[in-house]
């Protein structure tokens, strides 16, 4: 009888896991959508953006048709400015969620697992900023255009009426969209830089709402020289139809706001690269 040769079973080898840009992006996207706070905060941001714009338009229409004197705050209003009435509130919701996207991992300690899986570190920051920036961009785009089209229907027979083809309207709506998206990216950067949810939210609110008020207390010449370059003021110029003598136009305002965003990201990248989690 001939001996039958038996081959040793070959152990199945598990393919090595490769850390690629797409894998990191997918991981950050999964983490973002797995959080209940993401759905709640994005819902609030959309509600603020659309509902506040519609309420402002309804108030204007009611004042116009009632025959009573127009509220001074609405004297120079347009369908565009009324539809973007909710931007200052919506920006806070998007900025706060951006902070939670990055600083939230530091508060729970989950950042250690993230950085162990991605030892080079910086792709984590770029992926968080990219994923959340795109989400905020889509939300702001939908919310801004929905609010404007609804407001246009409400205000079609009033002096505030505008259409999407009116001069500057499309540019302003896209400017508001980009502004809100970059606010979200700044929130991510501040969260990664400060590694504290409370601290990053405080800095965000202070930069957007408190510092402009403090600058207004300076002498007029100083105020006029500094104010246009503040983040919130430069951002507002991106979606304003008209620009005053001491404000930036849309293009320079966009460049200044991008510079603030890049500065926040650079600070976050430096700390992520030079300090332990």
136 within 8 A of 261, measured Cβ to Cβ: no
Alpha carbon distance 183, 47 (integer Å): 17
Rounded mean pLDDT, 189-207: 95
Residue 3 φ/ψ, nearest 5 degrees = -75, 140
Band (pLDDT 50/70/90 cuts) for residue 19 is low
For residues 136 and 56, give the distance between their C-alpha atoms in angstroms, rounded to a whole number. 23
Encode 96-118: b = buried (16+ Cβ within 10 Å), e = exposed.
bbbbbbbbbbbeeeebeebbeeb
b/e burial code for range 121-133 (CB count within 10 A of at least 16 → b): eebbbebbbbbbb
Note the pLDDT tens digit of each residue in 22-62.
Answer: 888 888 888 989 888 899 999 999 999 999 999 999 999 88
Q: Looking at residues 151-157, what average pLDDT do you find?
A: 93
The reported pLDDT for the residue numbered 1 is: 44
The residue assigned the tokens 């792709």 is 123
272 contacts: CB under 8 Å, gap ≥ 6 = 121, 122, 124, 125, 192
Q: Is the pLDDT of residue 197 over 50?
A: yes
Does residue 209 surpass a pLDDT of 70? yes
Is the pLDDT at 93 greater than 90? The verdict is: yes
Mean per-residue pLDDT of the chain: 89
* Residue 259, helix vs strand vs coil: helix
pLDDT in the model for residue 274: 85
Residue 208 confidence (pLDDT) above 90: yes
Averaged pLDDT for residues 54-75: 84
């Amino acid at each position: 009888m001939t001996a039958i040769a038996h081959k040793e079973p070959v152990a199945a080898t598990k393919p090595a896991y490769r850390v690629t840009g797409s894998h990191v992006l997918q991981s950050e996207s999964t983490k973002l959508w797995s959080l209940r706070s993401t759905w709640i905060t994005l819902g609030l941001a959309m509600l603020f953006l659309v509902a506040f714009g519609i309420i402002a338009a309804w108030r204007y229409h009611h004042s116009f048709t009632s025959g009573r004197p127009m509220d001074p705050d609405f004297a120079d209003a347009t369908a565009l400015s009324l539809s973007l009435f909710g931007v200052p509130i919506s920006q806070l919701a998007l900025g706060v969620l951006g902070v939670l996207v990055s600083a939230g991992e530091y508060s729970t300690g989950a950042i250690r697992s993230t950085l162990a899986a991605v030892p080079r570190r910086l792709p984590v920051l770029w992926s968080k900023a990219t994923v959340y920036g795109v989400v905020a961009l889509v939300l702001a785009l939908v919310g801004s255009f929905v609010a404007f089209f609804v407001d246009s229907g409400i205000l079609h027979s009033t002096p505030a009426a505008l259409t999407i083809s009116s001069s500057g309207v499309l540019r302003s709506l896209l400017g508001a969209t980009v502004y809100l998206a970059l606010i979200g990216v700044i929130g991510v950067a501040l969260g990664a830089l400060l590694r504290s949810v409370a601290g990053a939210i405080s800095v965000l609110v202070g930069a957007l709402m408190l510092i402009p008020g403090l600058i207004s207390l300076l002498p007029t010449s100083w105020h006029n020289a500094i104010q246009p370059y503040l983040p919130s003021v430069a951002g507002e110029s991106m979606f304003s139809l008209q620009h005053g003598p001491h404000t930036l136009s849309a293009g320079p305002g966009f460049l200044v706001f991008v510079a603030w965003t890049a500065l926040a990201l650079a600070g976050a990248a430096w700390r992520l690269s030079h300090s332990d989690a």
